Structure 1
Amino acid sequence: MAGKSAAQTVLVTGASGFIAAHVTQQLLRAGYRVRGTVRSLQNEAKVEPLRKLCPDAKHELELVEADLLKPDSWKSAVEGCSHVIHVASPFPNAPPKDENSVCKPAVEGTTSVFKACEQAGTVKRVVLTSSFATVSGGLGTTPNYHYTENDWPDPDKMLPYEKSKLLAEKAGWDYVKNMKGINKFELAVMNPGLVLGPILSGTYCTSMEVPKRLMLREMPALPKIILPIVDVRDVAEAHIRAMTLPEAVGQRHMLISGSMWMLEMALVLQKEFKSQGYKIPTLIAPKLALQIASLFDPTLKYLIPSLEIVASFDKKRFTDVLGIKPIKNEDSLIEMAYSMIENGFLPKKPAYRKP
């Protein structure tokens, strides 16, 4: 873990989110003063789990209200902070009808946070959570292509969520590039793949969507796609290391531990949960059937260009620069499924056994 000072206060935006809750917990365990933002302090479902993240923390977690679409709410949130980890971003579980419903808050929110950081005059570095999709455009459509942090996709060919992450990341880089004066701060960007692992917050997150569909057999047959995966605990640790590591400044970092075919994920879950009463689908859906179904399902339409495509993602900055030793994809998937059951996002079958 990177070095720290008792005087340092780190702001984590969207603290109740899947990734942000882990970032907050790890910062508290490391002895940092942490301030987290939530949209409403009255939302107990989001606030209460945050209060319990680290009962023996040296410094009590401070929670404040801030909203991506309320620029004025960020001034007081950032005030006095030495570092900001900007994780908050809208993440729908289905493509929205209007892309502005995700692009607008993502871009304007990033700009508002960065502006508040500059005005505060105390912020040394911002770590921005982006996505592997801002490198590849999605799951990848070019066979055997090896993606690196130097790749940028065409935003006009992206789904609204992926496009929102791309536009927000570019807005962040542009803001830092155009800063002048004594209040300039550094920027490091994190580009994680599909994030799996145990859940700390009490609200549903879109990262649960694939495990949920497999565990509930919402897909009778599986698309032949391969997913780049990373554990949420590794993602959190990577954010914190990037916060102070000199080599992280001005760089993008793809956070991917490995890739799994959807069938591989299903077989891992089947091996663990079949005896506990969960019926995991393991049949591969014919390509033609998916193409027909995609005419009525916008999520499937997005997957069609990636069917049977194998792309690879460079992870040198993740493992060599940030020094992360990734958790196995299989362990991340199984632990996520168990935590979803324990937190009520999946039903407990009569034969269920708590690990």
Structure 2
Amino acid sequence: MWWRRTGILTVPRQTHIVKVARSPLPLLSVSCDSTARLQSRRSLAMAQDSGLVLVTGASGFIALHVVRALLKQGFRVRGTVRDAKNDRKTKPLRTCYPEAQHPVELAEADLLDDAGWADAVKGCQLVVHVASPFPNAEPNHPDDVIRPAVEGTRRVLKFAADAGTVRRVVLTSTMGAVHGEVDTPADREYDENDWTNVDFKGLETYAKSKTLAEKAAWDFVNALPAAKRFELVTVNPSLVFGPPLHGAYGTSIEVVKRLLDKSTPLIPYVNFAVCDVRDVAKAHVQALIVPEAAGQRHIINSGNVWLKDMAHMLREELSCQGYYIPFLSAPNIGLWLVGFIDRSAKMLYPRVGKVFKFSNKRMREVLKVEPRPIRESVLDTAHGLIQAGIIHEAPKYVRKELRLD
């Protein structure tokens, strides 16, 4: 872990939300075999009757891509933010998909406060719970990450159950809830049947928080009485790369940012399982509408890549455009020593030389999402960071048109 429609509706707390007419959705792209066509018709029928979707933490890196993907499919979207008056946070929601059939609605809500959640969920048939803290280094106080992740998840699910209209909730979990222990075998492929051991001594706080939050979600839904029960689906992405929308970028792409801004002078011998935020967004939409996804976990993963290979991809693309990309390897002892003063480096040291692989079978076969090439994800992350102004634009930089779908 180095790791427009152009309007916006604000839903104040305690304010009645007026239903608007639904619009038919465009057909989703599917394969040609009869089974896929049948699944597509069933999914489309569900989507056309889906009504309003609540997306929590809507201004975040992943959530903003999810909002865009939902708007493109014709969904009505309501997003939660902590401060609806913060234009820096809300403007991206107004501009992420200018052709939207409906303006995005906003509701103020905080993961650690009941206020606002009843109004946020009111009238919604679907919920995508994305909001969760993602630190770029081990926090001094783990509860600063664990508490909002677990309590926030329970809070969202409670108000979804109380609303009486919610049919399905998609929870954004993480690959770290599937496997997070660095001393376990690396000679096997992990899948949705695997769970991270939260008692593992060296487990990162983020992985622990997401594992506990996901387990709390399954326990909560399973304990609901039949009259209040809804379907739960989880999406478990690996390290998420891809272009940020309007400057909203996540901790997960810090690894690319650091290669570009010279804050990583030497390259550690570390390997990452990675995916693309555009595939993650599509997976969330599919998780909402595919009947077979109900009650299941879904790993979203493109494959594995060494940090040195990522640096090589970036050098090939950008060195001639005025960007210096490091090429020297960091000695393991050096990374260990740096770990005493840099908590990000300390998190990486146990992963040196290890490769952990993850299945994407359910991603492909159930959600019908084909991962894009890792090279495309890495390079589009870099171009996105430059074009968003997060990384300086060199005089020789050649602007690349980024595909956001």
TM-score clears 0.5: yes
Question: Do residues 189 (structure 1) and 234 (structure 2) align?
Answer: yes
Deviation at 1:7, TM superposition (A): 6.0
Q: Which residue, out of 274, 280, 290, partners 2:335?
A: 290
Query: 3-state SS of the aligned residue for 1:191?
Result: strand
Aligned residue in 1 for 2:33: none
Relative to 1, partners in 2 of residues 1:195 and 1:264: Cα closer, same or farther, differing over 3 Å? same
Deviation at 1:138, TM superposition (A): 5.9
Runs of 5+ in structure 2 lacking a partner? 1-27, 29-42, 401-405
User: Which structure 2 residues correspond to residues 23-38 of structure 1 after superposition, within 5 A?
Assistant: 23-38=66-81
Tell me which moved more, 280-289 or 230-239. Answer: 280-289
- 1:103 and 1:251 map into 2 onto residues whose CA distance is 23
User: Which structure 2 residues correspond to residues 261-340 of structure 1 after superposition, within 5 A?
Assistant: 261-340=306-385
Aligned residue in 2 for 1:12: 55
Cα RMSD (Å): 1.5
- 2:181 and 2:68 map into 1 onto residues whose CA distance is 29
Query: 3-state SS of the aligned residue for 1:82?
Result: strand
Question: Do residues 123 (structure 1) and 169 (structure 2) align?
Answer: no
Question: Do residues 230 (structure 1) and 275 (structure 2) align?
Answer: yes
Q: Which residue, out of 275, 292, 296, partners 1:251?
A: 296
Q: Is the 8 A contact 2:150 2:212 kept in 1?
A: yes
After superposition, what is the alpha-carbon deviation per residue over 1:20-76, rounded to whole angstroms, capped at 9, x for unaligned? 111111111111111111111111111011101222211221111111111232111
After superposition, what is the alpha-carbon deviation per residue over 1:138-189, rounded to whole angstroms, capped at 9, x for unaligned? 6775332311111112213311111111111111111011111412101000
After superposition, what is the alpha-carbon deviation per residue over 1:79-104, rounded to whole angstroms, capped at 9, x for unaligned? 11111010011112222100011111
User: Which structure 2 residues correspond to residues 138-157 of structure 1 after superposition, within 5 A?
Assistant: 141-157=184-200
- 1:202 and 1:45 map into 2 onto residues whose CA distance is 10
Q: Which residue, out of 43, 63, 84, partners 2:86?
A: 43
Q: Is the 8 A contact 1:37 1:63 kept in 2?
A: yes
Q: Is the 8 A contact 1:71 1:109 kept in 2?
A: no
Tell me which moved more, 240-249 or 151-160. Answer: 151-160
Moved over 6 A (4+): none
- 1:70 and 1:339 map into 2 onto residues whose CA distance is 34
Aligned residue in 2 for 1:209: 254
Question: Do residues 22 (structure 1) and 22 (structure 2) align?
Answer: no
- 2:289 and 2:248 map into 1 onto residues whose CA distance is 30
- 2:92 and 2:78 map into 1 onto residues whose CA distance is 15
Query: 3-state SS of the aligned residue for 1:62?
Result: strand
- 1:125 and 1:64 map into 2 onto residues whose CA distance is 20
Relative to 1, partners in 2 of residues 1:21 and 1:138: Cα closer, same or farther, differing over 3 Å? farther
Q: Percent identity?
A: 46
- 2:186 and 2:157 map into 1 onto residues whose CA distance is 37
- 2:141 and 2:218 map into 1 onto residues whose CA distance is 25
Query: 3-state SS of the aligned residue for 1:155?
Result: coil
Tell me which moved more, 1-10 or 310-319. Answer: 1-10
Aligned residue in 1 for 2:128: 85
Aligned residue in 2 for 1:169: 214
Query: 3-state SS of the aligned residue for 2:178?
Result: helix
Q: Is the 8 A contact 1:133 1:139 kept in 2?
A: no
Deviation at 1:296, TM superposition (A): 2.9
Aligned residue in 1 for 2:104: 61
- 1:278 and 1:253 map into 2 onto residues whose CA distance is 37
- 1:6 and 1:143 map into 2 onto residues whose CA distance is 44
After superposition, what is the alpha-carbon deviation per residue over 1:117-151, rounded to whole angstroms, capped at 9, x for unaligned? 00001000100001101111167753323111111
Q: Is the 8 A contact 2:137 2:347 kept in 1?
A: no
- 1:30 and 1:177 map into 2 onto residues whose CA distance is 30
Query: 3-state SS of the aligned residue for 2:347?
Result: helix
Q: Please, what TM-score do these two structures have when normalized by structure 1?
A: 0.96
Relative to 1, partners in 2 of residues 1:40 and 1:80: Cα closer, same or farther, differing over 3 Å? same
Question: Do residues 345 (structure 1) and 390 (structure 2) align?
Answer: yes
Aligned residue in 1 for 2:118: 75
Tell me which moved more, 192-201 or 131-140. Answer: 131-140
Relative to 1, partners in 2 of residues 1:140 and 1:41: Cα closer, same or farther, differing over 3 Å? farther
- 2:241 and 2:279 map into 1 onto residues whose CA distance is 10
- 1:162 and 1:103 map into 2 onto residues whose CA distance is 9
- Alignment length, in residue pairs? 355
Query: 3-state SS of the aligned residue for 1:35?
Result: strand
Q: Please, what TM-score do these two structures have when normalized by structure 2?
A: 0.85
Aligned residue in 1 for 2:18: none
- 1:84 and 1:335 map into 2 onto residues whose CA distance is 29
What residue identity is the alignment partner of 1:98?
H
Deviation at 1:214, TM superposition (A): 0.5
Query: 3-state SS of the aligned residue for 1:182?
Result: helix
What residue identity is the alignment partner of 1:313?
F
Q: Is the 8 A contact 2:81 2:106 kept in 1?
A: yes
